[in-house]
Amino acid sequence: MLELIHVAKKYDSPGDKQGLSVLKDITLKVEPGRSLVIVGPSGSGKSTLLNIIGALDCPTGGKVLFDGRDLAGLAETELARIRNKQIGFVFQLHHLLPQCTVLENVLVPTLADKKRSSIKEVRERAVHLLERVGLEGFLLYRPGELSGGQRQRVAVVRALINKPKLLLADEPTGSLDKDSSENIADLLVELNGSEKVTLVVVTHSLRLAERMGRVMELSDGLLKDRSRR
């Protein structure tokens, strides 16, 4: 479902004509329903790679195929549709809207759907998912009234509301304490199974890393398999 072929990313850097080659030659195939973790030192390009996978950023070399389609060949409206419908994102900071309730935050990604015929269905899915993550009692709370772990669970539910094929998480437990981190790790693993969503996670958490199907390490612009077989 996702394929990177000789992907490279170079940033211009002032005072350096060569530029900064963050990703040099990344070839990777992710099959539907699988889980993959990317580890690597800070600054090694993990976020850059995840943003390219999620069509938030373009590579400067190579190709990204999503369901066999070359992302570089798609119009911006089609890319926006893929980002909204097929891909869910969870970041280190939850990016919830502070003035909206938990339920409203989860429904934000559904607002772009012009049909809006299925509003009742979507609401039911939101409530169901919030129950699944143990937040049934918090639907009308605002983010400021929740713990960090609870907020991140809301962010995970929001990422899943449009039934994406691919869930991308960039250090989702990076700003949480140990218990909340383990909780989010359990949740991601469980949702990978039950929602059949393909999962690509960047993390420093060994506990999360060791529960993913495949472990890859990014260093010197290259991705190496670290999975134990």
Ligand X SMILES: Nc1ncnc2c1ncn2[C@@H]1O[C@H](COP(=O)(O)OP(=O)(O)O)[C@@H](O)[C@H]1O
What CA dihedral angle connects 31, 36, 42 and 46, to 10 degrees?
A: 20
Among ligand X, Mg ion, none, residue 192 binds (CB under 5-8 Å by kind): none
- Report, in Å, the least distance between residue 29 CB and ligand X: 21
* Separation between Cα atoms, residue 30 and residue 106, nearest integer Å: 27
- Report, in Å, the least distance between residue 48 CB and Mg ion: 8
Among Mg ion, ligand X, none, residue 178 binds (CB under 5-8 Å by kind): none
21 or 162, CB closer to ligand X?
21
What is the b/e burial string over 146-167, where b = at least 16 CB atoms within 10 angstroms of the residue's CB?
bebbbbbbbbbbbbbbbebbbb
**Phi first, then psi: what are they for 2, rounded to 5°?**
-130, 130
- Report, in Å, the least distance between residue 22 CB and ligand X: 4
Residue 210 CB partners (closer than 8 Å, separation 6+): none
Residues of this chain, 45-84, that bind ligand X according to CB under 6 A:
45-48
**Phi first, then psi: what are they for 226, rounded to 5°?**
-120, 10
Find the helix or strand (DSSP H, E) in which 149 lies: helix 148-160
110 or 173, CB closer to ligand X?
173
Of the CA atoms within 13 Å of residue 120, those in its CB half-sphere come to 0
126 or 170, CB closer to ligand X?
170
Residues of this chain, 26-85, that bind Mg ion according to CB under 5 A:
47
129 or 218, CB closer to Mg ion?
218
> Cβ atoms within 10 A of the Cβ of 229, count?
4
Residues of this chain, 145-174, that bind Mg ion according to CB under 5 A:
none
Q: What is the DSSP letter of 8?
A: E
Residue 18 interacts with ligand X (CB under 6 A): yes or no: no
Q: What does the per-residue mask of binding to ligand X show for 21-50, with x meaning CB under 6 A?
A: -x-----------------x-xxxxxxx--
19 or 32, CB closer to ligand X?
19
Residues of this chain, 123-162, that bind ligand X according to CB under 6 A:
none
44 or 192, CB closer to Mg ion?
44
Residue 11 interacts with ligand X (CB under 6 A): yes or no: yes
Q: What is the DSSP letter of 101?
A: -
* Separation between Cα atoms, residue 136 and residue 127, nearest integer Å: 7
E-strand ranges in 109-213 read 166-170, 198-202
Count residues contacting Mg ion (CB under 5 A)? Answer: 1
Binding residues (CB under 6 A) for ligand X: these are 11, 20, 22, 40, 42-48
